[in-house]
Amino acid sequence: MEVPGRDEMNGLGLQERDGPAPDKSTGPARPVQLTVRNLVKTFASRQEIVQVIKDVSFTIGQGEFFTLLGPSGCGKSTTLRCIAGLERGDRAHIAVAGRVLADTDTGEFVPASDRDFGMVFQSYAIWPHMTVAQNVAFPLQANQRRQKLSRKEIAERVEEALNLVRLDQYGGRIATKLSGGQQQRLALARALVTRPDLLLLDEPLSNLDAGLRDHMRGELRAMQLRTGVTTLYVTHDQAEAFSMSDVIAVMDSGVLVQQGAPRDIYWRPKTAFVATFVGQTNLLSIMRPPVTAGSGIVSVETGIGSLLVNPASDRPIGPGDSVVIRPEDLQVTIEPPPAGRANVFRGRVRRPTFLGENIELEIEIGGELLMTRQHPRFAFGAGDEVYVELPVDRCVAVSGAAAGVGSHIRGTIGDPATPHKNAAQ
Ligand SMILES: Nc1ncnc2c1ncn2[C@@H]1O[C@H](COP(=O)(O)OP(=O)(O)O)[C@@H](O)[C@H]1O
Ligand SMILES: [Mg+2]
């Protein structure tokens, strides 16, 4: 059996390349393009009044690709529709490039038709009886009241927009003769042709089949970088959010729970909800109030023993909160790691699953199950006794426990329905 030594693993470059250091890829701060402040929205049904947006505030920098990510029903589309002017917030201050579009204190409200936005929704309704070029020209013609353009200017703008989405060869074609992906690009061209201040995209890829969706992510991001258009993207799909965004804002039940660069969201989640909503994760329940261990590190008691961890939450953590560690961050070896390493435990491999690109292991440590993915050439077998290191800088103490999350969480052995026996202690 081939088993990694620690130095070998470091030699594979597995250590720090994409570590949890703050994400620097967003570069210097950009001027603010969109401001949303204190957005509150309620809907009244027959029985009750439901507040679906609960005081949401955020800003988007110029040229930024900003994604609202959250489960279905958390309020993403409602937020976007308030920004577009299709809904009025009960309370809101919304401004784009310094121009106030809605302010419930002053009563200002600019109607949707007078906001210079491009929009693409899930059902991207193209006009079937028109050609591709006519579809793209339509918003400019409808806009003549506000911006008078000559025929020549319209033709130039249409050509520019079709070029941007690589449909320049298709201007004369009837729109319904395009493939699904091409129709999606047409919808984008139509949204871009007015050179909008802001592009609003609400799950625009979710009607495409999986392969095309992956492809369109790359196309969409490339288009956004080419034009530099400030983009607000709404999705429940973490892969879309991670692959395209400069900034991700995670929403849960009408609240914006965490905002940051993709790597920060992934490696420095603040709550168990964020940790489990983006990617697979191990969650260990914290059993007692933590003890300070110096340099911002705390020691917490968990089901596998005491762990040195980084508190990520702004509020104090304690019983009822959890430690997060990503499956790929566990270091598993047969040989003991060098003396003096923290967070090292003995464990037993329960279920190795060879997946080609990696090997997935469930490892039992003190009655808890941790899930990990390791390099596939390391042939661990069921029953192997191993050392497991949970590197301190990869262990994050977050608010909350794993309430209501799916089967991707591994917890205590024995009862899959109650994977977190320690949560209530
Ligand atoms: N026009 C409406 N009337 C009543 N309830 C609505 C309306 N629009 C949305 N909702 C409710 O508001 C909540 C948020 O919806 P939505 O913003 O569409 O969520 P998401 O886009 O994140 O899936 C949901 O519970 C939804 O049922
Ligand atoms: Mg929606």
**How would you write 303-359 as a 3-class SS string?**
CCEEEEEEECCCCCCCCCCEEEECHHHCEEECCCCCCCCCCEEEEEEEEEEECCCCE
Mean pLDDT of 323-344: 95
Please state the atom number of ligand 1 nearest to the C-alpha of residue 68. Answer: 22
Residues 6+ apart with CB under 8 A from 82: 36, 39, 41, 53, 88, 89, 92, 94, 102
pLDDT higher than threshold 60 for residue 418: no
310 in the same domain as 193: no
Identify the pLDDT of residue 325.
97
> For residue 257, which amino acid is it?
V
Residues 6+ apart with CB under 8 A from 210: none
pLDDT higher than threshold 90 for residue 73: yes
Work out the pLDDT band at 184, boundaries 50, 70, 90: confident
Identify the pLDDT of residue 313.
66
Among protein residues, the one whose CA lies closest to atom 7 of ligand 1 = 43
Identify the pLDDT of residue 178.
92
CATH number at residue 372: 2.40.50.100
Identify the pLDDT of residue 27.
61
Is any ligand 1 atom within 6 A of the Cβ of residue 230? no
Mean pLDDT of 242-247: 97
Residues 6+ apart with CB under 8 A from 214: none
Ligand nearest to the CA of 76: 1
Identify the pLDDT of residue 216.
87
242 in the same domain as 115: yes
197 in the same domain as 50: yes
266, part of any domain: no
Locate 335 and state its tokens.
Answer: 């040989």
Mean pLDDT of 86-115: 95
Identify the pLDDT of residue 180.
85
| DSSP H or E stretch at residue 255 | strand 255-260
CA distance 389 to 342: 8
167, part of any domain: yes
For 199-221, what is each residue's pLDDT tens digit?
999 999 888 888 888 888 998 99
307 in the same domain as 254: no
Identify the pLDDT of residue 378.
86
Identify the pLDDT of residue 169.
94
Q: What is the mean pLDDT of the chain?
A: 87
> Which domain-ending residue is among 197, 226, 260?
260
268, part of any domain: no
287 in the same domain as 243: no
pLDDT higher than threshold 90 for residue 242: yes
416, part of any domain: no
Work out the pLDDT band at 316, boundaries 50, 70, 90: confident
For 366-412, what is each residue's pLDDT tens digit?
989 999 999 988 888 999 999 999 999 999 999 999 764 433 344 33
CA triple 280-250-119, angle to 5 deg: 120
Please state the atom number of ligand 1 nearest to the C-alpha of residue 79. Answer: 17
Bridge partners of 12, per DSSP, are none
- Ligand 1 centroid vs 75 CA: distance in angstroms? 6
Work out the pLDDT band at 1, boundaries 50, 70, 90: very low
Q: Comparing 52-56, 143-147, 351-355, 389-393, which segment has the lowest mean pLDDT? A: 143-147
329 in the same domain as 252: no
pTM over 0.75: yes
pLDDT higher than threshold 70 for residue 362: yes
229 secondary structure, DSSP code:
-
pLDDT above 90 as % of the chain = 69
Query: Strand pairing of 331-333 and 322-325?
Result: unpaired
- Ligand 1 centroid vs 38 CA: distance in angstroms? 18
137 in the same domain as 58: yes
- Ligand 1 centroid vs 41 CA: distance in angstroms? 10
Work out the pLDDT band at 28, boundaries 50, 70, 90: low
289, part of any domain: yes
49 in the same domain as 149: yes
Among protein residues, the one whose CA lies closest to atom 3 of ligand 1 = 43
For ion ligand 2, residues whose CB falls within 5 Å: 77
Phi-psi region of 98 (alpha: psi -120 to 50; beta: other; left: phi over 0): left
Is any ligand 1 atom within 6 A of the Cβ of residue 332? no
CA distance 398 to 306: 16
Is any ligand 1 atom within 6 A of the Cβ of residue 86? no
235 in the same domain as 371: no
Is any ligand 1 atom within 6 A of the Cβ of residue 88? no
Per the structure, the count of domains in the chain is: 2
> Which domain-ending residue is among 260, 290, 305?
260
306 in the same domain as 222: no
Identify the pLDDT of residue 24.
52
Is any ligand 1 atom within 6 A of the Cβ of residue 47? no
Domain extent at residue 197: 32-260
CA distance 327 to 372: 4
CATH number at residue 104: 3.40.50.300
Work out the pLDDT band at 10, boundaries 50, 70, 90: very low
Identify the pLDDT of residue 406.
38
420, part of any domain: no
What Å distances lie between residue 348 and 374, 402, 422, CA to CA?
A: 15, 24, 21
Question: Cβ(200)–Cβ(168) under 8 Å?
Answer: no
> Which domain-ending residue is among 225, 260, 295?
260
- Where helices occur in 48-179 by DSSP H, the ranges are 76-84, 132-142, 151-164
What Å distances lie between residue 408 and 83, 138, 309, CA to CA?
A: 34, 46, 22
CA distance 269 to 303: 21
Identify the pLDDT of residue 45.
83
96, part of any domain: yes
188 in the same domain as 102: yes
Mean pLDDT of 73-86: 97
Identify the pLDDT of residue 231.
97
335 in the same domain as 205: no
Bridge partners of 369, per DSSP, are 364
Work out the pLDDT band at 420, boundaries 50, 70, 90: very low
329, part of any domain: yes
